[in-house]
Structure 1
Amino acid sequence: MRRFNSVTVDQEAHTAVIGAGGRLGNIALALYDQGKQAISHGTCPGVGVSGLTLHGGYGMSSRLHGLTLDQLVSVTVVLHNSTVVTASPTSNPDLFWALRGAGAAFGIVTDFKFKTFDAPESNLVFSYNLSPSNTSQLANILTVLQNFTIHDQPPELNMRMFLPNQLTGVYYGNRSAFDTIMNPLLTKLNIPLEGRGAGTVSTKKWIDTLTSFSNGPLPQPEIYDYHENFYAKSLMPEYLSPAAMTALADYYFTTARNIRGRSWYLLIDMHGGSGSAISKVPADETSYSHRNAVFKMQFNDRIFPDSATYTPKMMEFLNGWVDAIEKASEGEQFGMYINYADTNLTKADAHSRYWGEHYERLVGIKGVYDPQKVFEGPQLVGS
């Protein structure tokens, strides 16, 4: 699909038609070059737009503009019998609903039409260091961030935490408003407002803002040959109880920080809450099933070299972390994000975790648009 990589902007209409083989860094640059337009998308420039969009698409402007799939106007799809159709709110609307959250199971998308917005050119990019020294302190930090995300975080403020010691993000507004919002939070997190340990805040234009959160340069080669050898898990909790926060933090101090010879991280995005554009979309508007998740949690454990074998024994590390959090939540099973596919899940668990109450409706739509199950995958709808 890499040759399906065109980007055509209608600046007056604030729309763009984007080929399904494009990668995010190239797409961002093409949108900007055609009238300084933008869409909400993820931070890694090598990620393909199709997988991202068809299953969600969270990035550092999502609290203000929604998920990537929330900006879809229409898509062009090749169906199982090679029929080419348009899916939109008025053409094949049930297919359009399914594609926005579970899209890999229904056809081959060749292009997407998105709503665009004017790229903001004065953005505050910030980073603060956290220094919890025990379970109680880390659990308190997470609790403060959860409460702030649910009740006080405005849409202009996008944040993420790399556990245990970095809080970073971007604010689309001026410094005075930023300080009014952030200073009470920083005080609760024991982060100095000035002087040593106060963190960094800098003003950046749009492309520089994207680069700040990127894991490499934005331009991507047509022949993409980047690989990582890793295992990933996710959680999409609507709320983590005090017991769950303690379990999460305790596992870090007793287990995670003692892992050697591997490169792991836990990334917690401040996803939902009353101020998030994601949460404002009705739960049944799309097949994306995590509208009310306060956090989007990505657990990632990478080994070296890339030719090595990631063994089932190694999976016990991240599996144990998720198990500890859920057992402390009175055995509750939280949702999970299919874009961080977890190969340890059974089909039934994957279907439930990824799509929740939407799954049965998705199966019915699958039967209409792909009755012969041409589009199969180990955990996809209908598998």
Structure 2
Amino acid sequence: MSSSYILPNAIPAPGLVARADSPFITCLKPLGAKVLQRNTSGFEKNRYAFDLRYTYYPEVVVMAASAADVQVAVKCAKASNVPVAPRSGGHSYEGYSIGGEDGSLVLDLTGLNSVAVTGGSGGSGSDPRAKVGSGIRLGPLYLALFNQGGWSLNAGTCPSVGIGGHTLGGGFGLLSRKYGLLIDSLLEIELVNADGDLITVGPYDNPDLFYALKGAGGGSYGVVTSFTFKPVKPSAKATSFTYDWPISQASKVFKAYSDYQATASRDVGVELNIGADGLEMYGIFQGTKSAQAAALAPFLNAAGAPSGSDVREGRHIDGQLRFAYIYGDPTDINALNLTGPYKPGDSHYTKGKSLVYPSALKSSTIDLLKKWGGMTPKGATASYIIVDLWGGAVQDIPENSTAFIHRNAHTVFEFISEWDENPDAKPGKPDCVDCLKWMDDMYAAFLADFKSYGPVRGYQNYIDKEIPNWQDAYYGSAITRLKKIKGTVDPGNLFRFPQSIPLK
């Protein structure tokens, strides 16, 4: 046993803990109170990510406040061969935001949360650019962009998701059919590499790395400190909507939904959920209420009359707030800041899986949606399947131009089970056994059915350690190039976790 380590005293953590006088901790001393060790104040509070199922013990947590802080931390980690786990929003379904195992250096990036929009006011050279700190969450980001000129981004709905992992895994949301994935709005990245250098990554600076980061960049190649996006300007009038149907209509609704994908307006951003209470379709249309009615008429005529609906004309940000499911005043857009009493409505105990469908849904798949979506596992507070309608602008980018291989996706399924809906949930509670059994049994049935569509494909932002052949499922033939880039920029494999891009 190395003399640099002692067993922990104050906290009953597994493994070994670096001594205060070890080379690793000594190296981190310039960061002062930003370094949280296992036996220091603040460590327990800050070592957890969003999903409280995972209670891994990092070696240290660094609460970075600048790119310079990140550089110091990365250099120290490299010198001591401690794996680095960047944490933006911390929503990894497998706990990879805290390393996916004990002993990582967790770089908490929430202090890097600035948002600055420049340009876009007309005239020569005024193309808009939004420079965004890599630790900001989607809710505060949407509010800041709106307040700086009515801008937005083609990103997801959950307000507590961090911009970092969401972007680097592709970034799908309710504006994607109109503007593409979030990586398609990405102009430039600032990143701390394995040597601790702050570099610029873009189409002309480090283009191979830019390719890799756009779809396979979550924690495998470096620590992103900022993104520069081309922001989008939503329609002056946007119409948010929900429609509901009973389970008994599921077959007809899903058939209509699947057929609708080929002709749906790009102004339609929509998801369809099925759970034990029935089906709910929700989305935002870029236009007036009357235009929304015309755009959705082909689908609604084929699906059959809904049992309920709620259609509201307003601003795009009103729709973003509506589907953020934040506890608090449902009309106050400042709730997107997630301060005060406002908290996201998602459970902190959850398991997710995914499948990416390349073509219209077959009747056998629709039958499975109806069968499994209607079940309620014992102990679950929510168990459901989300079917996202892809297509539109997502398909405009050639598949081989980025590491994101799912360009031609027809629909993407997200399978979710949640337990303990308490927004103040405590970490480390036992798993819901029946919830996980429902998930495993259901997923096995969908995998068997998926064979008729081709090789298994999954959406990397819904990371799942149990998906068959994960390298192929997430990255397909791009994995060969991704490994080569990994070997060039991180030959020591400093940025590693159980499903990081490997060297070989």
TM-score (norm 1): 0.90
Matches within 5 A, 1:13-92: 13-92=127-206
Larger radius of gyration: 2
Q: How many residues align?
A: 366
Query: In terms of mean alpha carbon deviation, does 154-163 or 337-346 score higher?
Result: 337-346
- Structure 2 residue 264 is the aligned partner of structure 1 residue 153: yes
Matched residues in 2 for 1:330 and 1:210: separation?
Answer: 36
2:314 is equivalent to residue 204 of structure 1: yes
Letter in 1 for 2:378: R
Asked whether 1:351 is paired with 2:463, we answer no
Q: Does 1:287 align with 2:403?
A: yes
2:174 match: secondary structure: coil
- Confirm or deny that 1:140 pairs with 2:247: no
Structure 2 residue 444 is the aligned partner of structure 1 residue 336: no
Counterpart code for 1:265: Y
Q: Is the 8 A contact 1:162 1:266 kept in 2?
A: yes
- Relative to structure 1, the CA distance from residue 318 to residue 242 in structure 2 (aligned partners, 3 Å threshold; closer, same or farther) is same
SS at match of 1:231: strand
Aligned mates of 1:83, 1:109 — CA distance in 2? 11
Would you say the 8 A contact 1:251–1:324 is kept in 2? no
Aligned residue for 1:219?
A: 337
Deviation at 1:76, TM superposition (A): 0.6
1:323 shift after superposition: 1.9
DSSP 3-state at the match of 2:270: strand
- Matched-pair contact (CA < 8 Å) for 1:248–1:324: no
Distance 2:442 2:293 in 1: 35
Change (3 A) 1:50 1:241: same
Q: Give the Cα–Cα distance (whole angstroms) in 2 for the partners of residues 93 and 64 of structure 1.
A: 26
Choose which of 98, 119, 130 in structure 2 pairs with 1:11: 119
- 8 Å CA contact 1:11–1:37 kept in 2: the answer is no
* Aligned residue number for residue 442 of structure 2: 321
2:66 maps to what in 1?
none
State the shift of 1:43 in Å.
0.6
Give CA deviations for 1:180-213 in whole Å, capped at 9, x if unaligned: 2222211211116xxxx46221101132121011
CA contact (8 A) 1:243 1:329 kept: no
The two structures have a TM-score, normalised by structure 2, of 0.69
Contact 2:418 2:435 (C-alpha < 8 Å) held by counterparts: no
1:270-304 Cα offsets, whole Å, 9 max, x none, are 122xxx11111111121111111111211111122
Report the Cα distance in structure 2 between the residues aligned to 1:290 and 1:357, rounded to whole angstroms: 12
What does residue 377 of structure 2 align with? Answer: 259
Kept in 1, the 8 Å contact 2:172–2:181? The answer is yes
Structure 1 residues 316 and 155 mapped into 2: Cα distance closer, same or farther (>3 Å)?
same
Matched-pair contact (CA < 8 Å) for 1:21–1:50: yes
Contact 1:39/1:68, CA 8 A, preserved across alignment:
yes
1: distance between equivalents of 2:413 and 2:113? 30
Q: Which residue of 2 aligns with 1:310?
A: 431
Partner of 1:237: 357
SS of residue paired to 1:112? strand
What is the rounded CA distance, in whole Å, between the counterparts of 1:287 and 1:359 in structure 2? Answer: 8
**C-alpha distance in structure 2 between counterparts of 1:87 and 1:379, whole Å:** 23
- Tell whether 2:227 aligns with 1:112: yes
Query: How many angstroms does 1:315 deviate by?
Result: 2.4
Cα deviation code 1:13-64 (max 9, x no counterpart): 2111101111111111111111221111111111110010010111111111
Q: 1:4 to 1:252 in 2, by over 3 A?
A: closer
User: In 2, Cα distance between the equivalents of 1:162 and 1:237?
Assistant: 16
